[in-house]
Chain A
Amino acid sequence: MRVDLLPTEGGGTYRFVIILLAICGILISSLPVIVVTIMSFSAADNTGFPPEALSLRWYSEVIAMFTTEDANSAQSVVSSTITSLVVAVIVMVISTGVCIPLAYVLARGDRRIRSGMELLFTLPLVFPLVILGIAFLLIAESLRLDIGIWRIIIPHVALVLPFVLRNCLSAMSGISLEVEEAAVSLGASPLRAIWDIVIPMMKAGILAGLIFALIISFNEFTITFFMYTVDVSTLPIWMYSRTASSLDPSTLALSVFIIAADVVLIVLVDKLIAGRASLF
């Protein structure tokens, strides 16, 4: 008799309860996103459910928001989207740039140093985000730092380091020292061997790390909530200030664009690291 954690035939109440709970989990995870997507196609002005008629009017409204000049440019959706993207791209480049050499050293070096460093670089993951936001705010305020967009970039880099390092490390794990030795014996310098042989072999892990950094920074809300200023504000903060009093359907259409972008990026990461590493 074949026994499995999830019996395919029979199983009585056990199978029923397990499947019921799994369905609850799937519903809790997905219902909010599904409802946002459905309501964004509503033709009505309010957010009553179900929508009486379907239309794309909120999507054209979103496009209009992005194409027409807003008089109040400091608060406009265009400038906060640009800030969000610029921050996410810089965070992505810096975090991956510093993690590749570190992953190389950790993979080739002492085991004890490796576990210590891995622990150090996991800390931002378990540290409460509110506290981190407040700490960075206190530093910026009491030192009266005027560093523009970097007041958001610096905390974001710390936040994504654990994810990026983990991806780079698992990319390094399959690369043996012999490939470098072969390159050096053929006349390459040690640095050239790393640049031309090791880094191309790490490509999938590096790309996964880049995308992870991009997604996390682009969607980050809590730290940015403390660090934003009138001049430097991101898209999630713009959405928060717009919908603090009431919800309007054009924000839902904008949300659907964000959902679609996130799903595409997650699928990409999942493909890149398929079978070699877990997402955490």
Chain B
Amino acid sequence: MSLQLTKSKALAFSLPALIAILPFLGACFYIFRFSISGEQSRIEGFSIQPYVDLMTPYFGRSVWLTLRLAFIATILAMMMAVPLAFLLTSLRSPFARRSLTIVILLPLILNLLVQAYGWILLLGPSGVLNSTLRSLGIIERPIFLLFNETGVLLGLVQTSLPLAVFPIVSSVRGISREHLEAASSLGASHWRIFFDVTVPLLRPGLFGAASIVFAFNASAFAIPLLLGGRRVQMMGIAIRDMISPLFNWSGAAAAGMILIFVTMITMLFAAWLARITSEKVER
């Protein structure tokens, strides 16, 4: 008897998984179909009106805010992710390595509400920072770091950091120490080695990690909802408002399509950037 994988066996084995992912594919199609519907509250006919209606200064500001916050959060996360990846790969003790992994990974997985509580306790008007500064006599009135862009930025950096660290860790593992030793024996300083050897070697991994972090941050919803209050209208929140008080379902679907489009363009751009810059290095 042969153990060859027959077509029917392969199909029977993959069918349950395909059925499980079908609702997701249906949801993707449904949101696209709704975004070109002629009616606001049901699928009826075809129209590009939902997209035309989005061309308002209000929605434009929301897109700009989303891109700006996601970009700044990505830069900040990358600046901390590279040192963390170096630290994680150079730790010798398995216990220290495991603890650091958990500390970095936890924010991505833990219930976002718990983390929002933490930020409120830290930075809120009567939080740790404000009461410390007040007791030291540095400030008289509490400084507001939450329910504005600062709070959202901190939350975004915290939750997206693991998405940056772990891909960079695997590219750091791929760097051979000989490159670094060669540069060092030729007299290069630590900074020179970092910018001229390490970063170019890491570049594909860096672009990959940054594009995932950016896409994750641009489509954030819970963080701006919990830490931004009503003033930070990132796209996720703007889309929710179209659904919940306004019942403009086709508009929300169209705004969602624009969000997907923006994140896809960014990821393609990052892949292209990684390719042309690595070609330059080879030459």
Chain A contacts to B: CB under 8 angstroms: 1, 3-7, 11-15, 17-19, 21-22, 24-26, 28-36, 39, 46-50, 94-95, 97-99, 101-102, 104-106, 108-109, 117, 120-121, 123-124, 126-139, 142, 154-155, 157-158, 161, 165, 177, 180-181, 184, 190, 193, 215-216, 218-219, 221-222, 225-226, 235-236, 239-240, 243, 247, 251-252, 255, 258-259, 262-263, 266-267, 270, 278-280
Contacts and interface: CB of A to CB of B under 8 A. Distances in A.
A100 to B, nearest CB: 9
Using C-beta atoms within 8 Å of the partner chain, give the interface range for chain B.
Answer: 35 or more
B58 interface: no
Contacts of B194: 14
A276 to B, nearest CB: 13
Interface in B127-167: 127-128, 131-132, 154, 157-158, 161, 163, 165-167
A131 B31 contact: yes
A127 B161 CA distance: 18
A24 B157 CA distance: 11
B14 A101 contact: yes
Interface of B: 1, 3, 5, 9-10, 12-14, 16-17, 19-21, 23-24, 26-28, 30-31, 34, 42-43, 79-84, 86-87, 89-90, 98, 100-107, 109-115, 117-122, 124, 126-128, 131-132, 154, 157-158, 161, 163, 165-167, 169-170, 172, 175, 177, 180-181, 183-185, 189-191, 193-194, 198, 212, 215, 218-219, 221-222, 226, 236, 239-240, 243, 249, 252-253, 256, 259-260, 263, 267
Interface residues of chain B: helix, strand, loop or mixed (majority): helix
A138 B167 contact: no
A201 to B, nearest CB: 15
In the A-B complex, the 4 residue pairs with the closest CB atoms: A32-B118, A128-B219, A25-B80, A14-B190
